[in-house]
């Protein structure tokens, strides 16, 4: 019989090969603001700033961009709510939830895929944040310029110092646990808002209100061309958040109620993202008048402010924001994912440190500076995100009709709900391959705007494949997972 998880309920007689304290049902004491702060950390970053600015440069009118942003972020909200539910109900993280569809051992496949994506971006984000710190140090201590003349493995001595400092700072926040991460994000997001509002006010005052526009393009599209770019813009927004939304259960598991998750998602996604995007375009549109050229990098913008103190405070805020997004999107995920591979030997902290150390050996600055290499590396991994969405959501909402056997999530006994064939569900793996054969080529091929749809194409194919093989839409087999039928 399936057991419904209640506050503090733990699985009965968990298998030690599938269980440790970090993967077990969590204490649920987060509220809506904590989820709101999670999304602020995810959005209030250099990447989020550049994304918003780029969308306003597509040749669309301001209102068209805002509609596209709203549609795209509402899609993200729908998926975030859907992904959040099983983890909030059980209190377990993303890789454990994957056991329902992939099997207790097969869940390592989606866990490793998500973990590797996070490791790549963790390294890149840490390096980008260290560049911001380098700017601050050179502004305060010009004598350090000589340290930029010596390099090792493609990075200057000062660059190594800044990278190491950012690496250690993030590791310290992470090492203190999820409560510290929650508290860090609770103030980091609002801090960036304070800086952004101040920066926008200064830009408007310096450039003059007449020079502020909600369009960053010299040409304006119309008709079908404009409609297509609106669709592309919405898809780009949804794709940008695909990674952190996939493992959103790693955070929703700590929420006391599903209502709190939904409320936090509402304020953190459509409301927060639209406000942040409007402030971004106000700042960017005024930079040509103030600095003589359009600047789409917020760190470069604040670094050019005449006041050293104001510039340093601004860069500090964006560095804090980058730390926030890096921890929530690229540190927590591999920590749970790698711990899931060997729960007896790898704790959550050890899993996170494996990812952090691995990011150093990637030499992310070299990876980032090789567009072709990063395109293929991230493209292949990211192309599998869509199929994972399709399989996990189809399995939970249609195949299993939202029923969760908590005990079976931690059981390797023959015949248990998620044991399938030796702990692996071949149906899910075949569906992943089918979806990947669609999404990966689309993601890698030079198809222009079409490549942005890879997540949706792959997700749709994988979902249909998983549903069909699991018995949906076939008379007499609905709701009976194919791999578990004798």
**Domains, in order of start, for the chain:** 22-369 (1.10.4160.10), 371-476 (no CATH)
Q: Is the pLDDT of residue 464 over 90?
A: yes
Token pair 């399995």 in the structure block, residue = 395
Structure tokens at 45: 């970053």
| Mean pLDDT, rounded, for 212-241 | 85
Share of the chain above pLDDT 90, in %: 50
* CA–CA separation, 394 and 469 (whole Å): 11
- Lowest-pLDDT range of 35-39, 310-314, 465-469: 310-314
* CA–CA separation, 214 and 52 (whole Å): 11
Residue 378's pLDDT is 61
Average pLDDT, the chain: 87
- Lowest-pLDDT range of 53-57, 110-114, 317-321, 482-486: 482-486
CB 391 within 8 A of CB 462: yes
> In degrees rounded to 5, what are phi and psi of residue 327?
-70, -50
Residue 372's pLDDT is 67
Residue 42's pLDDT is 85
Q: Is the pLDDT of residue 415 over 50?
A: yes
Residue 7's pLDDT is 44
* CA–CA separation, 118 and 122 (whole Å): 6
Helices (H) and strands (E) in the chain, counts: 23, 2
**DSSP conformational letter for 293:** S
More confident residue, 379 or 347: 347
Q: In 169-226, where do the E strands start and end?
A: none
- A 10 A CB-CB count for 293 gives 7
* CA–CA separation, 307 and 195 (whole Å): 14
| Mean pLDDT, rounded, for 207-232 | 84
Structure tokens at 433: 């391959």
Virtual torsion, Cα 457, 458, 460, 464, nearest 10 deg: 140
- Rounded (to 5) percent helix, strand, coil in the chain: 70, 0, 25
155 forms beta bridges with 152
| Mean pLDDT, rounded, for 43-54 | 80
């Amino acid at each position: 019989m399936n057991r419904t998880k209640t506050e503090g309920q733990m699985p009965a007689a968990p298998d030690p090969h599938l269980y440790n304290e970090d993967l077990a049902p969590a204490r649920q004491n987060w509220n809506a603001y904590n989820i709101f702060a999670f999304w602020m950390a995810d959005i209030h970053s250099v990447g989020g700033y550049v994304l918003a600015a780029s969308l306003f440069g597509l040749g669309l009118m301001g209102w068209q961009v805002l509609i596209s942003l709203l549609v795209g972020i509402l899609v993200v909200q729908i998926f975030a709510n859907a992904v959040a539910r099983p983890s909030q109900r059980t209190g377990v993280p993303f890789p454990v939830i994957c056991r329902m569809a992939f099997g207790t051992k097969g869940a390592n496949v989606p866990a490793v895929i998500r973990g590797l994506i996070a490791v790549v971006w963790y390294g890149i984000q840490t390096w980008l944040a260290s560049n911001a710190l380098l700017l601050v140090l050179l502004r305060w201590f010009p004598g350090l310029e000589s340290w930029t003349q010596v390099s090792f493995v493609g990075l200057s001595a000062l660059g190594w110092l800044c990278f190491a400092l950012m690496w250690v700072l993030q590791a310290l926040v992470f090492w203190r646990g999820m409560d510290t991460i929650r508290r860090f994000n609770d103030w980091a997001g609002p801090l960036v808002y304070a800086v952004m509002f101040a920066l926008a006010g200064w830009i408007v005052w310096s450039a003059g209100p007449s020079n502020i526009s909600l369009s960053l393009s010299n040409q304006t599209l119309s008709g079908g061309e404009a409609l297509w770019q609106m669709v592309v813009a919405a898809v780009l927004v949804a794709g940008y958040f695909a990674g952190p939304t996939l493992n959103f259960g790693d955070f929703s598991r700590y929420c006391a109620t599903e209502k709190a998750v939904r409320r936090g998602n509402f304020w953190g996604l459509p409301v927060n993202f639209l406000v942040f995007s409007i402030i971004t375009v106000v700042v960017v549109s005024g930079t040509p008048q103030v600095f003589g050229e359009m600047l789409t990098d917020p760190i470069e913008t604040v670094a050019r402010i005449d006041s050293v103190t104001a510039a340093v405070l601004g860069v500090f805020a964006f560095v804090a924001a980058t730390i926030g997004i890096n921890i929530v999107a690229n540190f927590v995920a591999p920590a749970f994912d790698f711990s899931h591979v060997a729960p007896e030997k790898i704790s959550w902290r050890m899993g996170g440190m494996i990812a952090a150390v691995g990011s150093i050996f990637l030499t992310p600055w070299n990876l980032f500076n090789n567009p072709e290499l990063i395109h293929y590396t991230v493209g292949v991994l990211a192309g599998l995100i869509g199929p994972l969405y399709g399989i996990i959501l189809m399995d939970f909402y249609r195949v299993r009709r939202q029923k969760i056997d908590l005990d079976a999530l931690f059981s390797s006994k023959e015949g248990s709900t998620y044991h399938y064939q030796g702990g692996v569900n071949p149906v899910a793996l075949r569906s992943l391959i089918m979806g990947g054969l669609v999404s990966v080529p689309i993601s890698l091929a030079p198809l222009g705007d079409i490549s942005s749809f890879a997540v949706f194409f792959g997700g749709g194919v994988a979902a249909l494949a998983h549903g069909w093989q699991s018995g949906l839409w076939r008379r007499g087999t609905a709701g009976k997972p194919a791999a578990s039928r004798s």
